[in-house]
Structure 1
Amino acid sequence: MSHEPRPRTVVSCTLLVIALVAGATACGSDGNPLASRPYDATDRISFNVPRGDAGKADPDKPLEIRAEESGERITDVTALDAAGRHVTGELDADGRRWHSTEPLAAGAHYTVRVSTEDEDGAPGRRVLTFDTGSPTAKKRLTVTFGPGTGTYGVGRPVTAELSRPIKDPAQRAVVERALKVDARPSVQGGWHWVDDKTLHYRPKDYWPAHATVRVRSDLDGIKVGDRLWGGKSKGVTLTIGDRVIAVTDASAHSLTLYRNGEEVKEIPVTTGKPGFETRNGVKVVLGKEYFVRMRGTSIGIAEGSSESYDLPVYYATRVTWSGEYVHAAPWSVGSQGSANVSHGCVGMSTENAEWFFDNVREGDVVQVVNSDGDTMETFGNGFGDWNLDWKEWREGSALTAGKQKIQEDTSRLRPTAV
């Protein structure tokens, strides 16, 4: 019995062989851009750090990575220390060289992962670990954060007091990048240099009610300047309470307290009379004192003058260091709600002052509107931070001053312009 040939089957087999050959080529790893595993780029990439037992890297010098082979280019670099801190850097336009743009930490262990690409587009990889030596400098820069760990109102800024003054803009940028504020829920916020040794951090708006704010310094082991290195500093954790805002309308002679957006209580008050007008603007509760002895001499009133006073005051909630309070003023009850007769404080009945005292905490907001007084000082007399708009606040940052682009903490690779 004869059989007719089956050309369609032969063609199918031929196609299958071609497909298998193509598949074998696609799965190869020898310099092919479709390689499933990156090749070892050890001999194609060089570092400027000691290898093996050669010693430890000098933290004073930037980390530099170069592509040595013709046609080889660097595509990505990730440099991390054991604490999880990234090293920011720049990649040259041709992809042949990457260098760090911020100081390495002293006494740290680093892991560097470099991704490459050869002239055929095949991916390569090299991983290097190294240790940095200890700084020879004796000067250390440490940070003291405020307030201490605890619960505060939505208006309390975070403060950072440096152990040494920092004037140089580049050094300020190093310091500012290392001061970390992590809020949950997250908020937009930033540092503002009050002076050479003091920074304040606040959100664009008040802290969210019931947020958790963790503050720390990553300066330890980081070179700040010539013979100046960051030291260890203790972090703090703030818990934010209810959103409490007390608004005093000086022209209406009333204080209204809002909690989480709802009006809780309206209180008749008296504020500063002509010549002693209460400061306008946003202030923050600094503390509470059950008893304070108030004297006119403390605000510049001469003893024996017609304006002189020396009074025992109860339930005093402080809002400025110079002596402005919300407090009990039983002697002016007849004017409360109708006239302004105080020397700058917000006065109310003893009963109302006790209620206010019991319902606010450090960090709560006290805002005065419609007074003829000056606006609350931004710094130096309490926390007038919120009287700067967000644009003005960001101009006090070493990272954004002069309308520079905000540098992201997570940035690791920045190609330079061609």
Structure 2
Amino acid sequence: MSHTPRTRTVLSCSLLVVALCVGGTACGETDDHPLSAKPYDAARQIVFSGPSGNQKADPDKPLEVTSKGGEGRITDVTATDAVGRYVAGELSADGTRWHTTVPLAAAAHYTLRVSAEDKEGAPGNKVITFDTGTPKEKNTLEVGFGPDEGTYGVGQPVIAELSEPVKDKASRRIVERGLKVESKPVVEGSWYWVDDQTLHYRPKEYWPADAKVTARSNLKGIKIADRLWGDETKPLNLTIGDRIVAVTDAAAHVMTVYRNGEEINEIPVTTGKPGYETRNGVKVILGKEYFVRMRGTSIGIASGSSDSYDLPVYWATRVTWSGEYVHAAPWSVGSQGAANVSHGCTGMSTGNAAWFFETVKEGDLVQVINSNGEDMDAFGNGYGDWNLDWGDWEEGSSILGKPSERRPPAAQIARLRPQV
């Protein structure tokens, strides 16, 4: 008996629903726009400022989509080119106008998808396609990625060389947004503008061992500056090998070599003597040369002076463009592990130099500590990128950077500790 009133209530509601549905209007629908229907064609509601027929849009001019007064409003617009690049735009608060906020690419095919609603709130859509033309007067910006494809150490930066200088801040932001570096596993990283035509990319920490790194450009057809447009660029693929870090303690006269955090060798060495002290800091291995003829004149020592030298050198691993190497120095074996007698290079026995030469690769790291020498330059004499901490590195980005005084190199080096 206690359930009877509830049963009557349910039946009454059911009859009420049936009555409403029978009364001329289907449940959940209106005569004009059934909810189950597809969005209506909003062509009569939408006005497009772009070309019609076979005409091509001027990539220099912004595009605009508007809704006719009193016909409803625009709710969303997406614009993409044939390779999937999105075009940034802005929709007015009242939904009557959308316009592009960045230049279009030249010689590209675009698709605009416009979503709208009429005065009753029913959804509509419109798809618009068009092509852009090529500016009559233009220069192209080519990008060359480096190094060559291959396997490198965890300290190797990605280099982007531009064919034209880019000085304007807004143009730099366009370039930087178009240059993409991706890695597996994913790591945090950023570009740094070394000068108007050179950018370096490095992660916050060293690359993970065995990572796969790809650099590519999305600048093709993109306007960068007045009469300057991006050109097609060949992508770059790199493989990162084991994490090899060699830490040279100039005061203790010893180099300790680590692979993936494990010590694999300890080598007695000699570094730069007074007046020729080896540079402190982190250096990226630039290359390996089995034989090099080293002359004092190459570093400013006059021929015939007491410091002059002219020597055949074997198993030479280069760490700066100015001629600092890790190499075999059989003439100084008696001082290795005990005193610093070189002109700035790190010398070791022939056997140890051959082992080091065969163990390391480009992109591996040599870090010198406890030397009385100058600090390694961040740029200009090899790849000293790692001598900037992450905050300083971000300031070199046109997107992330904030104007501030840079800390002096000595302060940067003082904060560094061996990372093995």
Residue 26 of structure 1 is aligned with which of 20, 25, 28?
28
Deviates further, 98-107 or 321-330: 98-107
CA contact (8 A) 1:27 1:36 kept: no
Measure how far apart 1:201 and its partner are: 0.9
Q: State the distance in 2 between where 1:355 and 1:298 align.
A: 27
* CA separation of 1:136 and 1:288: change in aligned 2, threshold 3 A: same
Q: State the distance in 1 between where 2:326 and 2:351 align.
A: 13
Question: 1:412 maps to what in 2?
Answer: none
Deviates further, 201-210 or 17-26: 17-26
Question: 2:51 maps to what in 1?
Answer: 50
Deviates further, 395-404 or 79-88: 395-404
Measure how far apart 1:379 and its partner are: 0.9
Measure how far apart 1:73 and its partner are: 3.6
CA contact (8 A) 1:146 1:160 kept: yes
CA contact (8 A) 1:136 1:227 kept: no
CA contact (8 A) 1:113 1:125 kept: yes
Measure how far apart 1:35 and its partner are: 6.0
Question: 1:323 maps to what in 2?
Answer: 323
Q: CA RMSD in A?
A: 2.4
CA contact (8 A) 1:283 1:366 kept: yes
Query: In structure 2, the residue corresponding to 1:401 is in which secondary structure?
Result: coil
Question: 2:195 maps to what in 1?
Answer: 195
Question: 1 or 2 for the larger relative contact order (CA 8 Å, sep ≥6)?
Answer: 1
* CA separation of 1:184 and 1:73: change in aligned 2, threshold 3 A: farther
Q: State the distance in 1 between where 2:244 and 2:22 align.
A: 73
Question: 1:414 maps to what in 2?
Answer: none
Question: 1:389 maps to what in 2?
Answer: 389
Measure how far apart 1:124 and its partner are: 2.8
Question: 1:40 maps to what in 2?
Answer: 41
Q: C-alpha deviations, 1:39-89, integer Å up to 9, x for none?
A: 322222222211233x01111112222233437343332211111111122
Percent of aligned pairs with the same residue? 65
Question: 2:160 maps to what in 1?
Answer: 160
Measure how far apart 1:356 and its partner are: 0.5
Query: In structure 1, the residue corresponding to 2:402 is in which secondary structure?
Result: helix
Q: C-alpha deviations, 1:291-314, integer Å up to 9, x for none?
A: 001111111111111111111110
- Amino acid of the structure 1 residue aligned with 2:26: A
Query: In structure 1, the residue corresponding to 2:391 is in which secondary structure?
Result: helix
Give the TM-score taking structure 1 as reference length. 0.89
Question: 1:132 maps to what in 2?
Answer: 132
Question: 1:15 maps to what in 2?
Answer: 16
Measure how far apart 1:29 and its partner are: 8.4
* CA separation of 1:310 and 1:85: change in aligned 2, threshold 3 A: same
CA contact (8 A) 1:184 1:211 kept: yes
Measure how far apart 1:24 and its partner are: 3.2
* CA separation of 1:401 and 1:64: change in aligned 2, threshold 3 A: farther
- Amino acid of the structure 1 residue aligned with 2:28: A
* CA separation of 1:89 and 1:374: change in aligned 2, threshold 3 A: farther
CA contact (8 A) 2:20 2:27 kept: no
Q: State the distance in 2 between where 1:25 and 1:44 align.
A: 28
Question: 1:307 maps to what in 2?
Answer: 307
Q: Which runs of 5+ in 1 are unaligned?
A: 1-5, 405-418
Question: 1:362 maps to what in 2?
Answer: 362
Question: 2:398 maps to what in 1?
Answer: 398
Query: In structure 2, the residue corresponding to 1:133 is in which secondary structure?
Result: coil
- Amino acid of the structure 2 residue aligned with 1:171: S
Q: State the distance in 2 between where 1:342 and 1:12 align.
A: 99
**Aligned length, in residue pairs:** 397
Measure how far apart 1:381 and its partner are: 0.8
* CA separation of 1:348 and 1:11: change in aligned 2, threshold 3 A: same
Question: 2:413 maps to what in 1?
Answer: none
Deviates further, 323-332 or 393-402: 393-402
Alignment of 1:330-349 (within 5 A): 330-349=330-349
Q: State the distance in 1 between where 2:323 and 2:31 align.
A: 76
Q: State the distance in 1 between where 2:274 and 2:306 align.
A: 14
Measure how far apart 1:12 and its partner are: 5.2
Q: State the distance in 2 between where 1:272 and 1:95 align.
A: 70
Question: 2:114 maps to what in 1?
Answer: 114
Question: 1:283 maps to what in 2?
Answer: 283
Query: In structure 2, the residue corresponding to 1:42 is in which secondary structure?
Result: coil
Measure how far apart 1:245 and its partner are: 1.1
CA contact (8 A) 1:135 1:229 kept: no
Q: State the distance in 2 between where 1:169 and 1:9 align.
A: 70
Q: State the distance in 2 between where 1:370 and 1:18 align.
A: 92
Question: 1:88 maps to what in 2?
Answer: 88
Measure how far apart 1:358 and its partner are: 0.4
Query: In structure 2, the residue corresponding to 1:402 is in which secondary structure?
Result: coil
Measure how far apart 1:7 and its partner are: 7.8
Q: State the distance in 1 between where 2:19 and 2:365 align.
A: 76
Q: C-alpha deviations, 1:332-388, integer Å up to 9, x for none?
A: 111111211111111111111100000111111111111111211111111011111
Q: State the distance in 2 between where 1:385 and 1:281 align.
A: 10
Query: In structure 1, the residue corresponding to 2:298 is in which secondary structure?
Result: helix
CA contact (8 A) 2:45 2:71 kept: no
CA contact (8 A) 1:154 1:240 kept: yes
Q: Which runs of 5+ in 2 are unaligned?
A: 1-6, 405-420
Q: C-alpha deviations, 1:205-259, integer Å up to 9, x for none?
A: 1111111111111221111121111112222111111111111111121111111
Q: State the distance in 1 between where 2:289 and 2:31 align.
A: 75
* CA separation of 1:176 and 1:13: change in aligned 2, threshold 3 A: closer
Question: 1:408 maps to what in 2?
Answer: none
Query: In structure 1, the residue corresponding to 2:26 is in which secondary structure?
Result: helix
* CA separation of 1:18 and 1:269: change in aligned 2, threshold 3 A: farther
CA contact (8 A) 2:270 2:339 kept: yes
Alignment of 1:206-225 (within 5 A): 206-225=206-225
Question: 1:101 maps to what in 2?
Answer: 101
* CA separation of 1:8 and 1:98: change in aligned 2, threshold 3 A: closer
Question: 1:233 maps to what in 2?
Answer: 233
CA contact (8 A) 1:292 1:313 kept: yes
Q: State the distance in 1 between where 2:67 and 2:218 align.
A: 31
Query: In structure 2, the residue corresponding to 1:258 is in which secondary structure?
Result: strand
* CA separation of 1:17 and 1:225: change in aligned 2, threshold 3 A: same
